[in-house]
Structure 1
Amino acid sequence: MSIKNVKTKNISWLKLKNTTTTPETEKLFEDSIETRGFIRNMQAVLGQFPAVLLAQDALSRALTVEYEGGLNGKERELIALVVSVQNRCRPCVWGHAAKLRQITGDALWVGGIEVNYRDAELSPRERAIADYVQKLTEAPETVEEHDLAPLRASGVTEQEIIEVVAIAAYFNFSNRINSGLGVQPNPEPFLSFR
């Protein structure tokens, strides 16, 4: 498959011409089509700035890969969804809700998190993680050392605390790109795994 131009019309507030790909961005777009079936609109917009698109993708992959002794996929997606809901970022809410529905097979539970994670049935560990990333997203200037205590008390390790913070920080970045540029959500995630 060869992608010559990636469509950018009506996917953000920007008046962009179609993105002409580089070999690196073409590979990224092809991988996205192969794994998801579509190119995410944020990727298409950032295709105008290949260095940022490639760096964003590398950081995203580094933070979403599970490894032994780290956060599991459900916890990672819970962080992404809580942060994205707090920021009201539709592309990310739709995408991470879909991934969490895929992981859990429970569309109703995920829907509850989309409305208000505080009312959702969460384990003590999940609740500590969600509360921490919500505070870090809503009022980062108020986060203090004592805010780590509930994480530790629920069994989150020091290494995992780094993951929690890094994942929350990354999705705040991603949300700001989408919100700042008016990136429209792809419809595919909204419709999937229901």
Structure 2
Amino acid sequence: MVKLDQIDWCETPLVLPTRGTPVEEEISRHLGFPLTSLAYLAPVPWVAWSLATKIQPVAHISNRLSDLITLVVSMENSCRHCYGATRSILRLTGYSQKRISELEEDFFHAKLDERNKTVLDFSRKCARADPRPDAGDLDALARVGLSRMEVAEVAYVATNTCYSNRLATILAIPPDAIEDQDKKLLTRLFRPLVAIGFRGVLNRTKKRNIRKYRSELENLEGPPFGNRLVDALRGSPTADVLHSILNDCWHSPHTSKRTKALAFAIIARTLNCSVCTTEANRLLECEGLLREDIDHLQTYLSSDALSGFESRFIHFARDTVNYQVPDIQFVARRFLEGLSKEETIEICGLVALANWVARLSIILEQNEAA
């Protein structure tokens, strides 16, 4: 895993920030603090709101474990934006520099118990494309005492972090202002008091996220994709969050439903997720593709049934599964050139979301085993 100062990060974001929008202001009020990233995402509300869920609404694992998972996955994905922000959050909530450095050097030798080491190892595997976690990794989590819902929330946090990492990386969003807060003299002088106050803010935000998505669910139809994953998370507030994000993405106007189905289909197939591939192929049929066209598309990553944009898009989507940071930022810049800001943001959110759900599908294996 790479350290913060070793990450090669593009200094020019893919889209310019749109500051002072009602969406940005509403999310900042909801969170109780500003996020630098919001101005880069505000033109597409579902993407901007999805990043508010970085304050994970978990109920079965601790906030501290959730933060450690986020740190390790962001390191694995070399996301300069998320890694730096999570590192600062750990410092602001009371983690010492020494403990963080131990995790960065090698969490297997850090002062963690076997349970936490197993969780972090599993989370790091969730960030990888090959090999991905398997039933053996789920068994390892069960052996160290995790319940089914704890495993589901661990996988949710790890794969949601993969989502945030891809979104911030592809768009090359600059470091968050929270890093500056961590460096201030007053923060260093009054760190214990700052830690108490900041933990209180995060706990209140977590409760707001739970209430928000629970109330939204009452007015939403089920999304046409990912319902098995949502059902597997039932019993955790994360189910409502995933349900809402999938629904809002599907109905957002900036990309076609066929483009969305292509993203889910190609990324699921690349990650060898049979459940998500089957669901996405069904969506493609609903969007007018014939079964033989879909089979050819999945086998050869090409089809005469696709438009020129769609043919380029599926290659870009596949490239987001496994990448090096400077390379994917260059590829994205080349592919997305000429698109509107809204289209650019939504496409980046779309491929990140498809990666999220295909990786999260590991929890279906423990449900089938049960």
Percent identical: 23
In structure 2, distance between residues paired with 1:154 and 1:148: 10
In structure 1, distance between residues paired with 2:20 and 2:94: 38
Give CA-to-partner distance per residue, 1:81-104, whole Å, 9 cap, x none. 000000111221122122223444
Would you say the 8 A contact 1:19–1:48 is kept in 2? no
In structure 1, distance between residues paired with 2:180 and 2:152: 30
Equivalent position SS for 1:138 = coil
Would you say the 8 A contact 2:123–2:154 is kept in 1? yes
Would you say the 8 A contact 2:58–2:153 is kept in 1? no
Give the equivalent residue in structure 2 for 1:180. Answer: 170
Pairwise mapping of residues 116-131 of structure 1 onto structure 2 (< 5 A)?
A: 116-131=106-121
Give CA-to-partner distance per residue, 1:135-185, whole Å, 9 cap, x none. 111236532111112211111111010001111111001000111111111
Q: 1:17 to 1:180 in 2, by over 3 A?
A: closer
Q: For 1:65, which of 52, 57, 60 is the aligned residue?
A: 57
In structure 2, distance between residues paired with 1:17 and 1:152: 44
In structure 1, distance between residues paired with 2:68 and 2:48: 24
Write the letter of the residue equivalent to 2:135.
E
Gap regions ≥5 residues in structure 1: 1-9
Give CA-to-partner distance per residue, 1:22-67, whole Å, 9 cap, x none. 3x432113445xx34xx3222211112122212332x434xx2353
Could you state the TM-score of these two structures normalised by the residue count of structure 2?
0.43
Q: 1:140 to 1:157 in 2, by over 3 A?
A: farther
Write the letter of the residue equivalent to 1:26.
E
Pairwise mapping of residues 163-174 of structure 1 onto structure 2 (< 5 A)?
A: 163-174=153-164
Equivalent position SS for 2:54 = helix
Q: For 2:98, which of 108, 124, 127 is the aligned residue?
A: 108
In structure 2, distance between residues paired with 1:17 and 1:177: 14
Would you say the 8 A contact 1:74–1:104 is kept in 2? no
Greater relative contact order (CA < 8 Å, ≥ 6 in sequence):
1
Give the equivalent residue in structure 1 for 2:150. Answer: 160
Could you state the TM-score of these two structures normalised by the residue count of structure 1?
0.78
Equivalent position SS for 1:156 = coil
Would you say the 8 A contact 1:73–1:103 is kept in 2? no
Would you say the 8 A contact 2:12–2:172 is kept in 1? yes
Equivalent position SS for 1:48 = coil
Give the equivalent residue in structure 1 for 2:88. Answer: 98
Q: For 1:41, which of 30, 36, 39 is the aligned residue?
A: 36
Gap regions ≥5 residues in structure 2: 1-9, 189-370
In structure 2, distance between residues paired with 1:51 and 1:106: 35
Equivalent position SS for 1:41 = coil
CA RMSD of aligned residues (A): 2.5
In structure 2, distance between residues paired with 1:54 and 1:140: 30
Write the letter of the residue equivalent to 1:127.
K
Would you say the 8 A contact 2:35–2:176 is kept in 1? yes
